[in-house]
Amino acid sequence: MGGKLPRPGRLTVWFEEIGRGDVGRVGGKNASLGEMVQALAPRGIRVPPGFATTAEAYWDFMQANQLKERIQDLLGDLVAGKAALAETGQAIRELFLHGDWPEETAAAITT
């Protein structure tokens, strides 16, 4: 990925550019924030700028950290009775917290 610039809108999108029709692309909470920004700004209510990461950015993160396979393994242990629910949930959260962002996604978020 070295030196490759992110494609605009593929990994991140500004809240004012999204709405309820974008749930599949950015998730329900982000789409709702987009609706709120679009409804409040024209009424003169100042809303801090913000952006959403897209589902594509999520799946890039999942793939880069091999999370699908690792989560499946953890859930397999849960189903087999080898691990408790709380322990499994915590382990999955830790995978996300300690994952590394792909270079292109990190650039899209920080620039």
For the domain spanning 12-110, the CATH number is 3.30.1490.20
SS (H, E, C) 5-74: CCCCCCCEEEHHHCCHHHHHHHCHHHHHHHHHHHHHHHHCCCCCCCEEECHHHHHHHHHHCCHHHHHHHH
Q: From first to last of its 111 residues, what are the pLDDT tens digits of the chain?
A: 344 444 456 899 999 999 999 999 999 999 999 999 999 988 999 888 889 999 999 999 999 999 999 999 999 999 999 999 999 999 999 999 999 999 999 998 887
The whole-model pTM stands at 0.79
Please give the structure tokens belonging to residue 60. Answer: 């890039």
The domains of the chain are located at 12-110
Kind and range of the H or E run holding 95: helix 85-97
